A and B are shown apart, each in its own frame.
Chain A
Amino acid sequence: MIRVVKASKTYNKGKPNQVDAVNEVTLHVARGEMAVIHGASGSGKTSLLTLIGCISRPTSGEIHVAGKTISRLPEKFMTMHRREHIGIIFQQFNLILDLSVEQNVGLPLFPLNMSKTLISERVDHLLAKMSLSKRRDFLVKQLSGGEQQRVAIARALINNPEILLADEPTAHLDTALTKELMETLAAIKKDARTIVIASHDPLVYNHPFVDRIFEMKDGKVVEE
């Protein structure tokens, strides 16, 4: 499902402040697996996820995601590929605070050629699944942290992705909520989705559903 071959991402190349955020990483995650990328802060987890998630392009190497080589794709096609196959839960949730829950969740579908009613149906369906139906018309800023987290998950799932990427999803959650989240992710995994989580939270990488753990350090995967 995901195959990364010697991929690197270098910021500010050739300048004094050059950073090798991801350095010749090679890894493989099969369909339906749950993988965790573990590493200290600044080790390049987020950067690696953005590469896999078609948000940024590697400076060298190859990346194959969901049957396509994306490492040299124009941005437009990266976006299209992401729309079709990938859902992302961001570290900071990255919700738009003064939009309603419904709009936040439906956001990724707006640029598609989909009617309003169809979008609305899909959103309702997901909100029910995430037990957020009652919060449908609330503004996101009126919600609690746990609820915001679930909105973020709902948004990541709205395009029915085969691959779900989550960047430090538990950073803002307490133990109880973290456990709840892992249950949710486990349930999502059961739908034959591939999940990659970047996290340094033991509650995450020690979870029984995790199939693979990659250890990252200074941009390199040092251990699998």
Chain B
Amino acid sequence: MILNPWVISMYVGILGMALLYSYALTISAQIVRYWDINSMEEGQLILERKSYLSSTIIQYGLGIEIVSIVLFYMTLESMAEVIPGAMCATGALKANMYGFPALFLKMAVAFVCAVWIIIHHVDTKLEDFHLTRFKYRCLFVLAPLLLCDFALQFLYFLNLDPNVITSCCGVVFEIEGEGFGSSVASLPPETMMLTFFISIPILLSMGYFLSTKKSPIGYYLYSLFGLILFVISILGIISFVAPYIYEMPTLHCPLNIMRREYHYIGYLLYAFLFIASFFSLVPGLSEFLKRKGGQIQNVVDDMQRKSIKISIVFWVLFFATSLLPIVLFEIRSEGGNLFS
């Protein structure tokens, strides 16, 4: 068990949110059970007002979850000084079996919150509350996730033993090593770079096409491509962006790029990536919501066009930021090749 300011701050936030979430869930349960838009009774009016509260809570919750991911990373960094063998956050994560699941779960929670907020956003534009029941049912998906999030985090810190030696990112992302991290790190950087940069024109042309023409399949494809691009981007960061940032062909750690030594460039990179992926999801998801009928059709079109624009802006920003270290390296080394 380790007690330090980072750990405490994480618990304060997550505990507060847990209380609010459970309140939001009881409201959701009432709504799912008693919601009746044809009723003109006072009870229905009260439910409508209560639904404001639970959606507010989830929106604040997303914000706090994102802060908590950053905090988790910082806690890991601070743990790295305490855990033998760990020299960075990756090492701290490997210190016991709960580390990586905890991190991934946190991201999943943020993702589900984000998706929920998209549905909610569509719903608030509908005069007939068409999605309300559906959206509060969806909220129940969040409950087990949050519970696990809380539990894993707790287990992780509880089981941190300062006497157990762990491995550092140099091992996890070692080219000759075994395991998932290593296999990503040993992807050929040139191929990855090619894939990475071919995706840009594809995305741009898709975006352009969809801004001139409405196409349901196009929207689905766009969101699907967004997801694929998200994965490619993460792999790309590990396989060649990070080495360029460190200017070391063998260093692949995707977490250390957030350090001060590298001007916090990682934060920028991940922020752009997550915002871009989020808005890439909107067209497909809202296309799916259209199938639920009602007045959704009219509301969603505008949203789809706008979110495609926003996502393209952030994808471009993301690609530009990941190009930056490469360009800088090329200028400094006068056209050298980092990987040869």
Contacts and interface: CB of A to CB of B under 8 A. Distances in A.
Direct contact of A and B (CB under 8 A): yes
Contacts, number: 22
B92 to A, nearest CB: 46
A71 B44 CA distance: 13
Contacts of B37: 72
A77 B127 contact: yes
A13 interface: yes
Nearest to B42: A13
A59 interface: yes
Given A74-B48, A75-B48, A13 B41 contact: yes
B48 A60 contact: no
A69 to B, nearest CB: 10
A59 B42 CA distance: 8
Nearest to A9: B40
Interface residues of A, number: 12
B40 A58 contact: yes
Contacts of A59: 40-42
B124 interface: yes
* Interface residues of chain A: helix, strand, loop or mixed (majority): loop
Interface in A72-91: 72-77
B129 interface: yes
A74 B45 CA distance: 9
A74 B129 contact: yes
B212 interface: no
A75 B48 CA distance: 8
A77 B130 CA distance: 14
Interface string B114-141: 0000000000100101000000000000
A176 B311 CA distance: 63
B74 to A, nearest CB: 38
B4 interface: no
* Interface residues of chain B: helix, strand, loop or mixed (majority): loop
Contacts of B41: 13, 59
B340 interface: no
Interface string B39-55: 01110010011000000
Contacts of A58: 40
B163 interface: no
A57 interface: yes
Interface residues of B, number: 11
Contacts of B49: 75
A57 B40 contact: yes
Interface in B9-31: none
A14 B41 CA distance: 11
Contact of B127 (A13, A71, A73): A73
Interface string B92-126: 00000000000000000000000000000000100
A57 B127 CA distance: 14
A74 B40 contact: no
Contacts of A71: 40
Q: Which of A13, A71, A72, A76 counts the most chain B CB atoms within 10 A?
A: A72
Contacts of A60: 40
B318 to A, nearest CB: 29
A60 B127 CA distance: 18
B124 A76 contact: yes
B127 A74 contact: yes
Contacts of B205: none
Contacts of A73: 127
B38 interface: yes
Nearest to B127: A77
Q: Which of A58, A73, A74, A75 counts the most chain B CB atoms within 10 A?
A: A74
Contacts of A13: 41-42
Nearest to B126: A74
A22 B131 CA distance: 32
Contacts of B42: 13, 59
B124 to A, nearest CB: 7
A72 B129 CA distance: 11
Nearest to A76: B124
A74 B37 CA distance: 9
Contacts of A74: 48, 127, 129
A206 to B, nearest CB: 37
Interface string B68-107: 0000000000000000000000000000000000000000
Interface string B209-223: 000000000000000
A71 B45 CA distance: 12
Given A75-B45, A76-B124, 16 more contacts: A13-B41, A13-B42, A57-B40, A57-B45, A59-B40, A59-B41, A59-B42, A60-B40, A71-B40, A73-B127, A74-B48, A74-B127, A74-B129, A75-B48, A75-B49, A77-B127
Interface of A: 13, 57-60, 71-77
Interface of B: 37-38, 40-42, 45, 48-49, 124, 127, 129
22 contacts: A13-B41, A13-B42, A57-B40, A57-B45, A58-B40, A59-B40, A59-B41, A59-B42, A60-B40, A71-B40, A72-B37, A72-B38, A72-B40, A73-B127, A74-B48, A74-B127, A74-B129, A75-B45, A75-B48, A75-B49, A76-B124, A77-B127
A-B CB proximity, top 4 nearest: A77-B127, A59-B40, A60-B40, A73-B127
